[in-house]
């Protein structure tokens, strides 16, 4: 299929370096597939390490000019980018459906969420304030100014191809940093479309550079080793995050890491059960479970365990599974066959170990990587499915007897990204929210993402925050100036 058959008719498919669209230096291309049909929908340039180094050179060449651009002007370019994304919401959503396999509703939701990061950081661009104080000894003033950290390498996953890019580009540009984005090789088209729209919004050459590559390791390494690079902002698996942290250490880079999760969804017997089941559906099934903050383990107080699991299974059983090209479908395909097979193996092991399959259970026959929405009950506390990031439409349900046990089960994981608590007892909700090892807690809510809130994890789920004012600070460095202006 020619690129012109894609929704954004004039979408370029090259590398975007220094404001120019160009081929990879060795002419290599990546095929992009539709996970709903396995068909190739397009191909894009695949950067070599040398191309990646040129992209860092381009970001470095634009760095001083961008850092000295008035914050208001930087904000206005982000604001125009927000408006263009909203104007092209339908086309962007269709791209995400095609290459990422989302349902239409999830894809549209993602575009709005992604664009909102530009609106938020357009507003934050003018809020990088420093401070002044008198030194305790009275001998001088301490001036603290915030300056852009410098050229930033942004590496993003396939599961939110628009939002993970804008959640990094927005604060970086607002802070005065220039960037190179390396999107996931499964979903490069959305990143290219966003860069294309930003070009139209008036972004100067070199401000944002995009290098898709199917050789992620060598390409990213080349950028992390580049002497002009000062920061890595990564979103992806903990496994890859660890590799990149080691590499970043060589060049002593500032690092923000958004890694994997294993979110507990805790339901106490006094919870509003309708609300808990509704929240569970959102927390589990947004993006067909392929979300870092997806509820991964349902911890439910014994008294209501069967009722909760039964009602959850009922809701899962009526979901319409199919390609997002049909907007009535609610659950899209998983990203590829390998992901589907991994989830199938987890479910099989769990059932072999004694879990009860209430609904679903495996991949759907035929083309595409579709997995049936699945609920497992009577899952043993030591079942491996509870310690892995499932990243698919599978909900294991486990019972607990007391608040202490719920907290201890919730914290029995090296991850600490999101957690959810359902109870009508406010004191308990807040107590549990404080005790749970997580960077984010939804209290009687299954949907927590908000560009104005700090998103991020503790333990092996990462370092730093994205969104909120904290997201801007990740791209700023404090400089202390000592001044004595006494006579
Ligand atoms: P991944 O770690 O496989 O890939 C992420 C990015 O790193 C991609 O661009 C990929 O091409 C690149 N990459 C892969 N191997 C690399 C290597 N050796 N060197 C350099 N770059 C490399 O993750 P994924 O499968 O794309 O995404 C799913 C994971 O992302 C899940 O674990 C999910 O929890 C996590 N995630 C986290 C957040 C968060 O905010 N914490 C958000 C979304 C996704």
What would the 3-class secondary structure string for 215-281 be?
Answer: CHHHHHHHHHHCCCEEEEEEECCHHHHHHHHHHHHHCCCEEEEECCCCEEEEECCCCCHHHHHHHHH
pLDDT value, residue 487: 85
Give the atom of ligand 1 at the shortest distance from the alpha carbon of 335: 25
Residue ranges in 88-187 assigned as alpha helix (H) = 89-100, 104-124, 163-175
Alpha helices in 149-215 (DSSP H): 163-175, 188-200
Predicted confidence (pLDDT) per residue in 76-111, tens digit: 999 999 999 999 999 999 999 999 999 999 999 999
What DSSP string runs through 457-484? Answer: -SGGGEES-BSHHHHHHTTEEEEEEEE-
Which residues have C-beta within 8 Å of that of residue 285, sequence separation ≥ 6?
316, 319, 330, 331, 373, 393
**Residue 42, strand partner residues:** 32
> Coil, helix or strand for 34?
coil
Dist. CA 219–CA 52, nearest whole Å: 6
The CA R_g of the chain, rounded to the nearest whole Å, is 23
What single string gives the DSSP state of each residue in 283-352? HHHGGGG-STTSEEEEEEEGGGHHHHHHHHHHHHHTPPBS-TTSTT--B---S-HHHHHHHHHHHHHHHH
Q: Kindly list the strands in the beta sheet with 440-443, ordered across the sheet, starting from the edge strand earlier in the chain.
A: 356-359, 374-377, 394-400, 295-301, 263-267, 418-422, 440-443
**Is 159 touching ligand 1 by the criterion CB < 6 Å?**
yes
Cα(62)–Cα(385) distance, rounded to whole angstroms? 47
Q: Which atom of ligand 1 is nearest to the CA of 182?
A: 9
pLDDT at 2: 41
Is-contact 182 212, C-beta < 8 A? Answer: yes
Catalytic residue chosen out of the listed positions 177, 255, 292, 340:
292
pLDDT at residue 10, as a whole number: 77
CA 117 – CA 451 distance, rounded (Å):
5
pTM of the predicted model as reported, rounded to 2 decimal places: 0.97
- Confirm if 210 and 181 have CB atoms less than 8 A apart: yes
Kindly state the average pLDDT of the residues 248-272.
Answer: 98
Q: At which residue do the structure tokens 């992620």 appear?
A: 216
Tell me the pLDDT tens digit for each residue of 131-180. 999 999 999 999 999 999 999 999 999 999 999 999 999 999 999 999 99
Residue 116: band (very low, low, confident or very high) from pLDDT cuts 50, 70, 90: very high
| Residue of 99, 124, 258, 290 with catalytic role | 258
Confidence of residue 206 (pLDDT cuts 50, 70, 90): very high
Per-residue pLDDT at 9 exceeds 70? no
Mean pLDDT of the chain: 97
Query: Once rounded to an integer, what is the mean pLDDT over residues 213-235?
Result: 98
Q: Which two tokens stand for residue 217?
A: 């390791």
Mutate to test the pocket of ligand 1, among 157, 183, 229 (most ligand atoms within 8 A of CB): 157
Q: What is the pLDDT of residues 317-335, one digit of tens each?
A: 999 999 999 999 999 999 9
Mapping DSSP to helix (H, G, I), strand (E, B) and coil, where does residue 176 land?
coil
Question: What 3-state class would DSSP assign to 209?
Answer: strand
Question: With 60 as the cut, is the pLDDT of residue 283 above it?
Answer: yes
Q: How much is the pLDDT for 437?
A: 98
Residue 314 is a catalytic residue:
no
Rounded Cα distance, 50 and 184, in Å: 18
Of 166, 168, 214, 237, best ligand 1 pocket probe by most atoms within 8 Å of the beta carbon = 237
Is 90 noted as a catalytic residue in this protein?
no
pLDDT at 7: 57
Å from CA of 354 to ligand 1 middle: 32
pLDDT number for residue 8: 61
What is the set of domains in the chain, with CATH numbers?
A: 15-259+461-480 (3.40.605.10), 263-450 (3.40.309.10)
Residue 22 burial (CB count, 10 A): 14
Q: Who's near 322: CB < 8 A, 6+ residues apart?
A: 36, 329, 331, 332, 370
Mean pLDDT across 296-300: 98
């Amino acid at each position: 299929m020619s690129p012109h058959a894609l929704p954004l008719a004039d979408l370029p498919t090259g590398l975007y370096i220094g404001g120019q669209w160009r081929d990879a230096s060795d002419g290599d291309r990546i095929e992009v597939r539709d996970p709903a049909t396995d068909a190739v929908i397009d191909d894009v340039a695949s950067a070599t390490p040398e191309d990646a180094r040129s992209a860092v050179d381009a970001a470095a060449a634009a760095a001083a000019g961008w850092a000295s651009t008035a914050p208001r002007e930087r904000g206005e370019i982000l604001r125009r980018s927000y408006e263009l994304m909203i104007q092209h919401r339908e086309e962007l959503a269709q791209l995400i459906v095609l290459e990422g396999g989302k349902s239409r509703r999830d894809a549209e939701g993602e575009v709005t969420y992604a664009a909102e990061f530009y609106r938020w950081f357009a507003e934050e661009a003018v809020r990088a304030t420093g401070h002044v104080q008198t030194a305790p000894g009275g001998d001088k003033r301490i001036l603290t100014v915030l300056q852009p950290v410098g050229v930033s390498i942004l590496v993003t996953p396939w599961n939110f191809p628009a939002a993970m890019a804008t959640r990094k580009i927005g604060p970086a540009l607002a802070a005065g940093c220039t960037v190179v984005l390396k999107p996931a090789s499964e979903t490069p088209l959305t990143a290219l479309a966003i860069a294309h729209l930003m070009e139209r919004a008036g972004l100067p050459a070199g401000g944002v550079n995009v290098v898709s590559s199917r050789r992620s390791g060598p390409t990213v390494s080349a950028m992390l080793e580049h002497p002009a690079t000062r920061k890595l902002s990564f979103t992806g698996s903990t496994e890859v995050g660890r590799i990149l942290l080691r590499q970043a250490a060589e060049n002593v880079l500032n690092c923000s890491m958004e890694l994997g999760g294993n979110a507990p969804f805790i339901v106490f017997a006094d919870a509003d059960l309708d609300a808990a089941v509704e929240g569970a559906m959102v927390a589990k099934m947004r993006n067909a479970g392929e979300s870092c903050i997806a509820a991964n383990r349902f911890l439910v107080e014994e008294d209501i365990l069967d009722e909760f699991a039964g009602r959850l299974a009922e809701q899962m059983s009526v979901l319409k599974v199919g390609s997002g090209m049909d907007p009535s479908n609610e659950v899209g395909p998983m990203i590829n066959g390998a992901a589907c097979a991994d989830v199938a193996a987890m479910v099989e092991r769990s059932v072999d170990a004694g879990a009860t399959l209430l609904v679903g259970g495996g991949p759907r026959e035929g083309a595409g990587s579709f997995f049936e929405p699945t609920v497992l009950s009577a899952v043993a506390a030591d079942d491996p499915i509870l310690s892995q990031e499932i990243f698919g439409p599978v909900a294991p349900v486990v019972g607990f007897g007391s608040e202490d046990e719920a907290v201890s089960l919730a914290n029995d994981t090296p991850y600490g990204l999101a957690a959810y608590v359902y109870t009508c007892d406010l004191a308990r909700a807040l107590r549990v929210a404080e005790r749970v090892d997580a960077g984010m807690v939804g209290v009687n809510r299954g949907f927590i993402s908000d560009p104005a809130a700090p998103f991020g994890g503790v333990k092996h789920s990462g370092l730093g925050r994205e969104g909120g004012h904290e997201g801007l600070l990740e791209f700023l460095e404090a400089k202390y100036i000592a001044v004595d202006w006494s006579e």
